[in-house]
């Protein structure tokens, strides 16, 4: 699927609406949250009323709840003038955010999770750079210095591994894709939403990847975050859906179906590998294997920064460690190995790194096609 070309970044300043209209429209997507909805919305409303200096709206977006959540949301909307309520016939956090944001006229649209795991004191720092025109998107991050996070080791490991996978496969620059605490200027949202295809949990990641590729400014806010022990997220199915989403974005980036500005996908890995091997051949006759390897890798990395934009420093350290280790192992195993053998070993290291990017995407594609085939079979079964 070919995405339309975007015309971002947008203008540097956002005009404020009429004094009685909301400046911030904060969406709270919910599904079967009859226990937490009322206390959370009342707490959020009281915080905004007491600390937020502009008019605001809280939009409760129900995703096809089957309990009393819609009734509670309707009562809150009738009781609190700053609270609105919309109901969707289908599930999906991304679907709820798309509906709420698309129907808003506020200069800044945002969302947070109903469990209020993120400290509310970060709300004003989240919105301020968007109102000032400094940034186009603002996201909470649990993985930056200054964040204070309380959660179990399982979720900590999964979160960190997911964000490392994003940096390795899609070369993203943001640190935390799935923190349920984000804000977007309305003009940016209007441009981005047609480009985002996911309607579930991967919506956040896709929104940020598309925005970064389009050259938008993303501001990260360190947050205080306490894990909700009653979280409804199904980790396994969500992880598989995220892998399928990463695979799809990888294909679209490789095919040029996403905005071209920003970081490319596999091109940096392939070009850096090729350039490194050429420079190694040129430097090896005048220097030792390790020196030639380090100089060649550093030179092509600097050139890659110029061509492709900022590249993640851990990737440079990983390449240096792997190539240096491979050369040392070769020298230990075969002391008389020649320059061609060294070059072959370095090429094998680079090939393994490229495959490490491709194979997870290939696996997720197989899973996606398998799931799609099962769905078609179920629909056509008598």
List the catalytic residues.
204
Per-residue HEC secondary structure of 31-62 comes to CCCCCCHHHHHHHHHHHHHHHCCCCEEEEEEE
Locate 77 and state its tokens. 């909307």
Tell the burial category of 277 from Cβ atoms under 10 Å away from its Cβ (0-12, 13-18, 19+): middle
Long-range contacts of 122-129 (CB under 8 A, 24+ apart): 122/181, 122/221, 122/222, 122/223, 122/224, 123/26, 123/47, 123/48, 123/51, 123/52, 124/51, 124/52, 125/221, 126/181, 126/182, 126/183, 126/221, 127/24, 127/52, 127/183, 129/219
Element (H, E) at 293: helix 289-308
Q: Which of 117, 168, 125, 130 is nearest to 353 (CA)?
A: 168
DSSP string, 151-164: --HHHHHHHHHHHH
Residues facing residue 308 across a β-bridge: none
- What is the C-alpha separation between 302 and 291, in angstroms, rounded? 17
3-class secondary structure, 68 = coil
Cis peptide before 43 (omega within 30 of 0): no
Q: Which residue has the tokens 């892998």?
A: 243
Cite the beta strand spans of 89-208 per DSSP E.
Answer: 108-112, 137-141, 148-150, 181-185
């Amino acid at each position: 699927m070919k995405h339309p070309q975007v015309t971002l970044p947008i203008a540097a300043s956002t005009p404020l609406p009429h004094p009685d209209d909301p400046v911030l429209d904060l969406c709270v997507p919910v599904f079967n949250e009859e226990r937490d909805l009322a206390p959370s919305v009342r707490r959020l409303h009281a915080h905004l009323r007491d600390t937020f200096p502009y008019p605001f709206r809280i939009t409760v977006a129900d995703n096809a709840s089957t309990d009393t959540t819609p009734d509670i949301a309707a009562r809150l909307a009738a009781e609190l003038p700053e609270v609105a309520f919309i109901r969707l016939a289908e599930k999906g956090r991304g679907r709820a955010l798309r509906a709420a944001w698309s129907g808003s006229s506020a200069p800044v649209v945002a969302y947070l999770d109903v469990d209020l795991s993120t400290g509310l004191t970060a709300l004003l720092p989240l919105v301020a750079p968007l109102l000032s025109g400094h940034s186009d998107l603002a996201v909470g991050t649990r993985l930056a210095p200054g964040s204070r996070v309380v959660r179990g080791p399982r979720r900590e490991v999964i979160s960190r591994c997911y964000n490392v996978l994003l940096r390795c496969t899609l070369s993203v620059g943001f640190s935390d894709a799935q923190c349920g605490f984000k804000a977007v200027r309305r003009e940016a949202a209007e441009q981005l939403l047609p480009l985002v295809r996911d309607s579930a949990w991967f919506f956040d990641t896709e929104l940020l990847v598309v925005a970064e590729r389009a050259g938008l400014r993303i501001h990260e806010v360190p947050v205080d975050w306490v894990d909700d022990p009653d979280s409804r997220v199904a980790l396994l199915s969500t992880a598989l859906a995220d892998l399928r989403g990463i695979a799809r974005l990888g294909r679209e980036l490789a095919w040029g179906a996403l905005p071209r500005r920003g970081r490319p996908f596999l091109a940096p890995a392939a070009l850096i590998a090729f350039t490194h091997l050429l420079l190694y051949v040129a430097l090896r006759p005048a220097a030792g294997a390790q020196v030639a390897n380090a100089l060649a890798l550093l030179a092509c990395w600097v050139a890659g920064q110029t061509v492709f934009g900022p590249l993640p420093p851990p990737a440079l350290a990983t390449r240096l460690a792997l190539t240096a280790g491979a050369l040392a192992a070769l020298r230990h195993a075969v002391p008389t190995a020649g320059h061609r053998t060294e070059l072959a070993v370095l090429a094998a290291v680079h090939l393994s790194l490229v495959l490490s990017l491709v194979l997870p995407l290939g696996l997720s594609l197989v899973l996606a096609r398998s799931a799609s085939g099962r769905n078609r079979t179920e629909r056509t079964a008598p």
